[in-house]
Amino acid sequence: MSSHTETSAPSTIGSDVVGMRENTSPVFGQRMLQHFDFDPSCRNLNHGSFGASPREIRKKLCWFQDLAEARPDQFIRYEAPDILNESREAVAKLLNAPTDTVVLVPNATVGVNTVLRNIDWNDDEKDEILYFSTIYGACGNTIDYLVDSSHSRISAREVRLTYPLEDEEVIAALKDAIEASTKSGKRARLCLFDTISSLPSVRLPFEQITKICRETGILSLIDGAQGVGMIDIDLKGLDPDFFVSNCHKWLFVPRSCAVLYVPERNQAMIKSSLPTSHGYIPKSGKRFNPLPKHNGSNFVNNFQFVGTLDTSAYLCVKDTIEWRHRVLGGEAKIIEYIQTLAREGGKKTASILGTWVLDNKSNSMSKCATTNVALPLGPEDSIRASGWMMETMMSDYKTFIPLFRHNDRLWARISAQVYLDIQDFEWAGHILLELCDRVKRGEDRNV
């Protein structure tokens, strides 16, 4: 098949933004905006919610879509499966995992649902799902649905986290929950936990949590929605039971695309994709599969074609990883820049607001590309004002910063990315300060 004509990579000119050495770094910061299609009147300080994809990769996305329109049967039946395998191979290599342990799904929520809905829960009403109080809302709702619809077969136990906490305190809270589950006559069957939680956006000690699960015979399901492209992930070393991570966020793959990892030892548990499609093997025997290209792995076949959906984004994974290497210098440089910018940018924003960044003494919570900055508002103001502030950010300042309450205080979550620099965090500090002053003047009450 003919290949898409790639645009030439821009010349790399050094940058000293946030202390990055001029002779070793690509041009990170606002000049990197040339590769994206953001409205020039807006600032994207919320990469963590929906991600963004470079123009060059989005052109490749459209190219795949055009091929599907030009010759649907030839492309969808015979060509796309091979390109999909190349994408799986590329992301598997990035995550240090065997290719046939990874498949692609629309997003992390679908991945979490796929695992939870495939588990054979026991009939003795002892199975319990452990999760942390900072769980992503959709995943929390999935657990609630399973509990509500299980007719008492499944229960759930929350591990309460109130930050700041050291990693040891998080682990201690998990161990207490496991012990409490046993004492109550339950069986901790599975633990669902994040790499980087959403709100507040902090790094959990997911490596240690995975180890505790393995030692106690609990299935580990890692929600790495904020994961690949933001932090280093080594699945061979980590060895979780299940792992899912969005590719359309920090990795720059177009929406919507996520990687679902299931080691070979657990693949028999995942009997069906979500929704069930041609790859499912019923107990009565295989039905006719109209798609001609199959893999040797039943697990991979299950996810190769899940109904007629636009999966063009899946086909862009390999090209996106190559683009990150060619244009941005590779994963190590990207991660170093965005994590450094989040740390230094958070300090800058907090200094303007006269507040602080949410972190612990060891700084382990902030080893990621997001920062959480306290707002200078009292509890009464923050309860009333957050919705108005977020809407006003869009209408008056042409930006969006998620605001959330934690530990009786209102916080702002700001994302660092290669197209941002320290000036963006300074600007964010000033508009947040102005919004807080407007709240104190009662403007939010006049709506």
Convert the pLDDT of each residue in 128-138 to its tens digit: 999 999 999 99
Q: Are residues 146 and 293 part of one domain?
A: yes
pLDDT above 50 for 5: no
Contact 170, 205 (CB under 8 A): yes
187 and 212 co-located in one domain: yes
Whether 116 and 142 have beta carbons less than 8 Å apart is answered as: yes
How remote is the C-alpha of 371 from its chain's centroid?
A: 15
Q: Per the domain annotation, does 396 fall within a domain? A: yes
Residues 315 and 336 in one domain: no
Structure confidence at residue 288 (pLDDT): 85
248 and 105 co-located in one domain: yes
Q: Is 22 domain-assigned?
A: no
198 shares its domain with 237: yes
Query: What is the reported pLDDT for 447?
Result: 66
Residue 379 has pLDDT above 70, yes or no: yes
* Closest C-alpha among 345, 343, 363 to residue 353: 345
Q: What is the domain range of residue 233?
A: 78-319
**Which pLDDT does position 107 carry in this prediction?**
97
- Do 254 and 373 share a domain, yes or no? no
Residue of 5 and 146 predicted with greater confidence: 146
Is 37 a domain residue? Answer: no
Single out the residue in 266, 291, 319 at which a domain terminates: 319
User: Considering the chain, what is the average pLDDT of its residues?
Assistant: 93
| 39-53 confidence digits (pLDDT tens) | 999 999 999 999 999
Matching residue, tokens 């070979």: 264
pLDDT of residue 191: 98
Tokens of 437: 């002053």
Q: Are residues 154 and 236 in the same domain?
A: yes
Domain harbouring 421, CATH code? 3.90.1150.170
pTM: 0.92
How many structural domains does the chain have? Answer: 2
183-198 residue pLDDT tens? 999 999 999 999 999 9
Q: Are residues 195 and 308 in the same domain?
A: yes
- Please report the pLDDT score of residue 8 as a whole number: 34
pLDDT at position 18 is 39
Q: What is the mean pLDDT of residues 270-293?
A: 88
Q: Is residue 202 part of a domain?
A: yes
Of 319, 340, 373, the position where a domain reaches its end is 319
Q: Are residues 206 and 179 in the same domain?
A: yes
Same domain as 344, residue 277: no
- pLDDT at residue 32 is higher than 60: yes
Q: Confidence class of residue 25 from pLDDT cuts 50, 70 and 90?
A: low
CATH of the domain at 261: 3.40.640.10
**Same domain? 247 vs 387:** no
Residues 282, 238 share a domain: yes
Last residue of a domain, one of 294, 319, 344: 319
> For residue 26, what are the contacts with CB-CB under 8 A and spacing of at least 6?
12, 15, 32, 327, 328, 329, 333
Give the integer Cα–Cα distance in Å for 309 and 214.
36
Q: What local confidence, expressed as pLDDT, does residue 179 receive?
A: 98
Please check whether residue 243 lies inside any domain of the structure. yes
Is residue 44 in a domain? no
Is residue 386 in some structural domain?
A: yes
